[in-house]
Amino acid sequence: MTDDARLEQGERIRREVLGDAHVERSLTKAGEFSRPMQEFVTEHCWGAVWSRRGLGRRERSLVNLGMLTALNRSHELRVHVRGAIRNGCAREEIQEVLIQAAIYCGVPAAMEAFRVTEAALAELEEEERSGDGVAVRAGNGE
């Protein structure tokens, strides 16, 4: 696959997972200095890794939530909570990932992750009520 094709595929996947509005904001905010980083992330993260067959988007989202909790990256966690919901993850599944992370990453990191996630879920529920968002599932469907 050419670099241009991977960049196109990455942008498509990024938009499907994070939503057009988020991607537009990220690309619009990118100045001359940071634009190459946005392109790098789009091509390699979204175009090369998120397109792989080994895991589905739900699983990739759940893995990301655990890793972002471990790294204590609140801004990215908030973005990926929204992506996880778009990818069909349920609140209960997200909650379980954060509880699991508390054991392996530490309670302070997990507490912050719960705060960020709860706020992101509240935003999504408000958007859902207003007709602008995706449905937030309560359970894991089992």
Domain locations in the chain as residue ranges: 1-52, 55-142
The pLDDT, as a whole number, for residue 37 is 95
Mean pLDDT of all residues in 98-120: 97
d(CA 66, CA 54): 18
132 confidence band (pLDDT: 50, 70, 90):
confident
pLDDT of residue 142 exceeding 80, the answer is no
* Dihedral in degrees, nearest 10, Cα atoms 19, 22, 24, 30: -140
pLDDT for the residue 140: 55
CATH class of 55-142: mainly alpha
Averaged over 10-31, what is the pLDDT?
94
At residue 99's C-alpha, the angle toward residues 98 and 101, to 5°, is 60
Distance (Å, rounded) from C-alpha 134 to C-alpha 125? Answer: 8
